[in-house]
Structure 1
Amino acid sequence: MSTLTALARAEAVMTGRAQPIATVRHLHVHRRPMVLIPLAMAGEANAPLAAMAGDDREKPQLLVVTQPRNRDERFAFADRLAGVLIRYVDSFATVTEAVAVDRGKDVRYRYVDAPQIWVPNPGGVDFLRLFGRSTRFRSVDGEHPVPASVPLLGRWLTFFANSAEVPGSVLLANAVQALGLHWATGQSGAEDAQFGALLAWITDGAAAARDQENGPVAGPATDPEFDNHVLAPLIERNDPAIAGVLHELLLPTWDRMWRALDLLRAMPEGSRVASRWDSDRDAYSAFAQYVQEGGAPQPRRDGAVAAAARLQRLESAATRYAVQRAFDDPLVLAEYRLSGAAFAGTVTLAKADRIDDSGKRPVLRPRIMVRTAEVVRVEPGTSLTSPARPSQKARVVSVTPVGSPAPGAAVGSPAPGVSEGSVVTEFDVLLELSGGMGRKLVAEPGSVPEVGERLILTTLSEAYRPGGALPDPTETPWTHGGPPAVL
């Protein structure tokens, strides 16, 4: 837990209300999302009991398995779920747009929009992952055939579950994680996992949250008391009333899901959210085309090279997502200022026309001086970036402590390079700029910070970082299983 989040939790305890820990919304909320609330039978591994799903707030669709242990009923449930989910997913595979690639030399096509599925909590994501794994390899002919929609559903569920592992992706989102990204409550992280209590903290406060601690189930697990005293007798009698009981059980969570989406939509969207949604649209477009072309189901497990490549992609996505959140949100960036990875200051000197002619050809290298009252923990030679100009690098030339107190400034401790008896209250940071100023020896207007401009500089960067080289799958070493078997 970060320092500011801990402070926000403490304030939530004192005030009895959840505290915002973000100034903008860090995820895309679709104009027409699908809400899916899965429910599984207790004691049975991934045995579906029911699901409430739909993209219309006023028309939830309830799918029920009256005998969860019956194989035929489970796959009939999968067939009905496929009818709802795949119809929704396919509705976006219509209109495409051209996207320039290779610096405008070529174009590729992607769909102009993509589906977005919302579940209440991480358990819902895990349920869909397991259900996808149990259905995508099913045969549609031979012994024990299933409807053709069942393996197709499994492949799409696997795609969405895999995308949920990618930091910043919201093709499959869960409400608990999304709300926790933007608000801090006065309860523990484990208690935040209770969707109803978390939402009540945000909308109505601590007292309302306490009332929700034993509130409606949000799936996929059911309440043991409900299982023993209500559900079990209905299943034993094969009672058709089970549908009505499960409808009443899930409807409050359905309403809460849409209220959570309303809360998130009310926040202004971060400026980099759209670019991440573009990446989601790319992923959806590629997989939809793969399915249309008859591609094989996802493998049961990745090979050594594929697993390493996936881990590399996830690590890169996590780093990029953390930087983008910080650049979008001053409150998130404040965490890095506390740790010394960023500082804010005012430009006191600027030489925008400075030319460095020490190399083979002259290059534009303006210099600026930034004065800051924050402790600067970067060494000369460090490359910094400003969120206001992410494509521009600022190399630290020198950091000079200022030993005379500024009026009204807090007095700090003596620093190296300052005479005995002096106190450091400010630092002058000399920076050399490169990039983001055009291709000429004259900087484009506004590309160089001017005197008096307030800047935030950080070691964080959105610059592309190439991954490590990986061997060809045919050259997998014996320590990692050897080359894949030839089928």
Structure 2
Amino acid sequence: MSLIHTLARMEAVESGRAQPLATVRHRHLAARPLVFVPLTTAGEAGAPLGALVGADRDRPRLLVVPQPRDRDLRFAFLADLAEELLPYVDSFADDTEPAERTETDPETGKRVKVETELCADAPQLIVPSRAGIEFVRLLGRSMRFRRTAEQDPDAPYPAPPRVPLLGRWLTHFAERARVPGSALVAAMTELLSRHWATGQSSLEDQHLGALLAWIDPPGEGSGDGSGTVSGDGSGEGESEGEGESEGESKAEGLGAAAALRAETARDAAGQLLCPPAGPATDPAFDNKLLAPAMERYDRARTAVAAAEDGPAADRHLAELAAAEREIAALVESRTRPTWDAVWRGLDLLAALPEGERAAERWTRDRWSYTGHRDRVLAGEPPQPRVDDAVTAANKLATRETAQARLEAQEALDDPLVMAGRRLSGEAFGGEVTEIVMAYTDSARPSPRPLVTLRTDDAPHLAERAKVHRSLAGKPQSAQFVGYDEEGGVVLRILDKMGRGKEPEEGSVPVKGDRIVWTLFEHAPRGGPSLPEPDDTPWTHGGPPGEGAEAPDPVTPEDVL
């Protein structure tokens, strides 16, 4: 946690309102995101109980599994989910634009540009919390290897036709969620906590209702139960400090009181007024409402199966339908508040201007979506259960590079984030006080001007350290030379000045300019490429070589 983040949390506690951690939105928001609010059965992480899903905030589709232990009902739920999700995912597949991609020529080994197509946009899946992303991963793992009756007529429990395809897409979404900065699938709690700091812990921020209570409290001491902090409900301040007004006392507890109410307030029946964002349910809901409703459903199903045609069978069918409606109403009562909270969070995020470099990260998401679309159309098999050594190492390297790139881009887009990097000594800013033109000692001298910067920051500058600044959207590098007599930082500019003897106009700062230099690279590069799986030694997961030794024969001493 940066110092800026810590200070913002302290101010949130003092003011009773969440404090901004950013001045821009660092994640792309699609014009038509699809919101998925899942609910699972207690004790069975992969057993769905129901969900609200859709791209229209006013018309979500409710999916319910009346008895999660029934495999047929779970398959029906997954088929309905595929019916809702796959058309949305496929709606972005046909709208493409020409693009160039850099690939390695298999014959020469050189990097060449290849003309290809890129989807103009990509789907975006929004879930309430990080646990929702984990549920998406579990669903994908349980579905992508299923065999349909068309694929395998002898399969004992064939899946509905499009369920395996949905599993492959959900697995891709979950894998993409592990890439820092990706917005293909996002958790609302993480999006909000990235842009606002509350006066509670990071663990408490995973409760969507409590998080929104800090960011946008429902009332500020208006008597609705969320803004007052007085013990007797009278609204009178109880602060011992002299001269503190009643409004200030209320403000200090506004966010904390609203968050506490969102987490713990219950109705007369003992049910939470603000259900958790899921996918887990509240034990009081499970024990008092859900379990009895499922028992009535099971009894009705048993009665229908045993009944013969006639008035009794019609009565049992009516009881079964009523039990199904009761469970559906219970599921909707737990998911609809979370559905509304997710859209409320989207409204808060949409009010922030998008960061300049967020579009670049979304382009990477579009490449990811386009690549998986092509793999599906080519008939490639589903993602493996366990990655081989080379694939796993490549994924890890990609995520590390994406993390460094994200941290650099957020700082360049947002002065508030850059302030945190300056406080930590990773960047410094100030006013240019002197420019001295210098040149290299080569046969063709190149400009290497010396720039003196007066700064109040305390950067961690080592000898001959490289620093960077953004020049027309591109990084310009300089080398730390030392300090002048007055403590100014002296830098030697190294590049982005053109090819002539004199620097191009605007490439060298002038006296009086205020500049921010960073010690971190603006476009971090990954490490060296790894060998292909066939060229990987067997010690690292590759195929055994021709000269590999055979294993020792089994002897009687090896058997206990």
TM-score, scaled relative to structure 2:
0.79
Secondary structure of 2:463's aligned partner: coil
* Residue 206 in structure 1 maps to residue 256 in structure 2: yes
Aligned to 1:418: none
* Alpha-carbon contact 2:35-2:125 (below 8 Å) kept: yes
Secondary structure of 1:221's aligned partner: coil
CA distance in 2, matches of 1:11, 1:391: 35
Relative distance call for 1:263 and 1:401 in structure 2 (3 A) is farther
* Residue 251 in structure 1 maps to residue 336 in structure 2: yes
Aligned to 2:116: 108
Secondary structure of 1:457's aligned partner: strand
CA distance in 2, matches of 1:310, 1:117: 22
CA distance in 1, matches of 2:454, 2:537: 54
Name which of structure 1's ranges 240-249 and 362-371 shifts more when overlaid on structure 2.
362-371
* Residue 315 in structure 1 maps to residue 400 in structure 2: yes
1:377-422 Cα offsets, whole Å, 9 max, x none, are: 30231110114554210111222352xxxxxxxxxxxxxxxxxxxx
- The AA in structure 2 aligned to 1:75 is F
1:185 to 188, 191, 198: 198
Q: 1:177-326, aligned counterparts within 5 Å?
A: 177-204=190-217, 205-214=255-264, 215-238=274-297, 239-240=323-324, 241-326=326-411
Relative distance call for 1:484 and 1:209 in structure 2 (3 A) is farther
Relative distance call for 1:185 and 1:464 in structure 2 (3 A) is closer
Secondary structure of 1:344's aligned partner: strand
Aligned to 1:344: 429
- The AA in structure 2 aligned to 1:136 is R
Aligned to 1:73: 73
- The AA in structure 2 aligned to 1:183 is W
Kindly state the Cα deviation for residue 181 of structure 1 after the two structures are TM-superposed: 0.3
1:130 to 133, 138, 146: 138
Secondary structure of 1:72's aligned partner: helix
Gapped regions of structure 2 (runs ≥ 5): 103-110, 218-254, 265-273, 298-322, 546-560
CA distance in 1, matches of 2:167, 2:114: 34
Kindly state the Cα deviation for residue 194 of structure 1 after the two structures are TM-superposed: 0.7
CA distance in 1, matches of 2:340, 2:400: 35
* Alpha-carbon contact 2:423-2:457 (below 8 Å) kept: no
Query: Quick check: which has more Rg, 1 or 2?
Result: 2
1:333-362 Cα offsets, whole Å, 9 max, x none, are: 1122112111111111224x6432x23533
Relative distance call for 1:124 and 1:105 in structure 2 (3 A) is closer
Relative distance call for 1:266 and 1:109 in structure 2 (3 A) is same
Name which of structure 1's ranges 429-438 and 90-99 shifts more when overlaid on structure 2.
429-438
Secondary structure of 1:208's aligned partner: helix
* Alpha-carbon contact 1:132-1:153 (below 8 Å) kept: yes
Aligned to 1:396: 480
Secondary structure of 1:134's aligned partner: helix
* Alpha-carbon contact 2:209-2:259 (below 8 Å) kept: yes
Kindly state the Cα deviation for residue 464 of structure 1 after the two structures are TM-superposed: 4.3
* Alpha-carbon contact 2:538-2:544 (below 8 Å) kept: no
Name which of structure 1's ranges 105-114 and 254-263 shifts more when overlaid on structure 2.
105-114
Secondary structure of 2:355's aligned partner: coil
CA distance in 2, matches of 1:149, 1:77: 12
- The AA in structure 1 aligned to 2:380 is G
CA distance in 2, matches of 1:269, 1:458: 22
Secondary structure of 1:251's aligned partner: helix
Relative distance call for 1:472 and 1:156 in structure 2 (3 A) is same
Relative distance call for 1:401 and 1:385 in structure 2 (3 A) is same
* Alpha-carbon contact 1:120-1:219 (below 8 Å) kept: yes
CA distance in 2, matches of 1:437, 1:62: 60
Name which of structure 1's ranges 239-248 and 437-446 shifts more when overlaid on structure 2.
437-446
CA distance in 2, matches of 1:178, 1:400: 44
CA distance in 2, matches of 1:224, 1:306: 41
CA distance in 1, matches of 2:464, 2:409: 24
Aligned to 1:434: 494
CA distance in 1, matches of 2:372, 2:334: 35
* Residue 164 in structure 1 maps to residue 177 in structure 2: yes
Secondary structure of 1:98's aligned partner: strand
- The AA in structure 2 aligned to 1:89 is V
Aligned to 2:463: 380
Kindly state the Cα deviation for residue 472 of structure 1 after the two structures are TM-superposed: 3.4
CA distance in 1, matches of 2:516, 2:357: 18
CA distance in 2, matches of 1:217, 1:373: 47
- The AA in structure 2 aligned to 1:206 is A
CA distance in 2, matches of 1:80, 1:26: 33
CA distance in 1, matches of 2:128, 2:134: 11
Name which of structure 1's ranges 79-88 and 333-342 shifts more when overlaid on structure 2.
333-342
Gapped regions of structure 1 (runs ≥ 5): 403-426
CA distance in 2, matches of 1:105, 1:190: 46
* Alpha-carbon contact 1:474-1:484 (below 8 Å) kept: no
CA distance in 1, matches of 2:113, 2:74: 50
- The AA in structure 2 aligned to 1:163 is R
Q: 1:23-38, aligned counterparts within 5 Å?
A: 23-38=23-38
Kindly state the Cα deviation for residue 479 of structure 1 after the two structures are TM-superposed: 4.4
Name which of structure 1's ranges 94-103 and 8-17 shifts more when overlaid on structure 2.
94-103
Aligned to 2:86: 86
Relative distance call for 1:126 and 1:56 in structure 2 (3 A) is same
Kindly state the Cα deviation for residue 300 of structure 1 after the two structures are TM-superposed: 0.3
Relative distance call for 1:256 and 1:396 in structure 2 (3 A) is same
* Alpha-carbon contact 1:473-1:484 (below 8 Å) kept: no
Name which of structure 1's ranges 10-19 and 102-111 shifts more when overlaid on structure 2.
102-111
* Residue 368 in structure 1 maps to residue 472 in structure 2: no
